[in-house]
Amino acid sequence: MKDTLTFSLIQTDLAWENPTSNLAMLETKMNGLVGKTEVVVLPEMFSTGFTMQPHLYAQTMDGDTVKWMQALSKKLKIIIAGSLSIKENGQYYNRLIWMLPNGQLGYYNKRHLFAYANEHQHYTPGNSRSIAQINGWKINLQICYDLRFPVWARQQPTANEAAEYDVLLYVANWPDKRSHAWSHLLTARAIENQCYVIGVNRVGTDGHQLYHSGNSCVIDAMGETLYQCAHSEDITTITLHKAHLQQVRANMPFLNDADSFLLIP
C-alpha cells in the first residue's frame, strides 16, 4: 500500500436536469486540480441532479457523459468518481463510475433505492458491492441511501486480514432536513468499520424544491472529522495516511472480534 492517498471533494450546486451545463461547470472546477490530487469525487447524479426521469436523461456506457469522464480523466491524469443515470439491457441504474486515466473503469450500481422519492419505481437495484483499488488502497463505493444500511457497508474479513477495505466512499444528494442523520451515520460507519469515510453531497435547491446543505466530510477511523463544509460550494483536497489507519487497527483490533456473516443481496 502506498503511504498516502489524496482525494479532492467537489461540493457544488447542480443545474436541474441539465447535463451540458453541469459537465461544463464541473470540468472548469476539475481543471484547477491538475497535479494536486489523485481522486476527484463528484456528487450523486452529478450530470442531472436526482432525476426520476431516466427515460429522458439516462445514458449508455458509451454515451457522452461516460466519454467525457474518460477524456477528462486521461487529460488531467486523475481518477474521477461520481454517479449518473445509466441505461443498460433495458434497465436503468443509478451507477457510480470509477474512471481511471488509462480509460479503464469500474462501477457500482446503487443497491438501496430511495422508495420515499419513488427511486425504486424508475431504477433497478444493484446486487453486489464494488471495491476499487489504487496503489494498494481499497475503496468501497456506495451511494447516498446505502448509508442507512450498515450491513451493506460492514467489513467482511478476508483470509489474510480483518479489514476488507480502507476507505468507504459515499456520493449523495442528501437533503438538508435530514443532515443530522447524514453526519452521524457517516461517523458511525467510520468507527464500526475502522476506516476512513468520505461523503460528498451537493448543495442548493433541486427541481423538487428540496434544499441541500452539503455537509460533505472526511472522517477518520476514530470517528474524528477531518473536514466538513455546509451551505456553500467548496472544493477541498485532503491526503489520507496509511500509518494512521494501521495504528488505529493495531491499537484497537476490534475487527478481529467481529461476527462472521454471509451477505445475501
> Do 22 and 90 touch, CB atoms closer than 8 A?
no
Give me the sign of the Cα torsion angle 249, 250, 252, 256: positive
Contacts of 81 (CB under 8 A, 6+ apart): 39, 40, 41, 42, 96, 97, 98, 99, 132, 141, 169, 171
Distance in angstroms (rounded) separating the CA atoms of residues 169 and 243? 19
Burial class (CB in 10 A: 0-12, 13-18, 19+), 115: exposed
> Do 7 and 41 touch, CB atoms closer than 8 A?
yes
Distance in angstroms (rounded) separating the CA atoms of residues 151 and 158? 16
What type of residue sits at position 33?
A: L
Give, in order, the Cα–Cα distances in Å from 217 to each of 32, 144, 220, 231: 20, 13, 10, 13
Return the active site residues: 44, 110, 144
> Do 113 and 83 touch, CB atoms closer than 8 A?
no
What are the grid coordinates assigned to 195, written together? 476506516
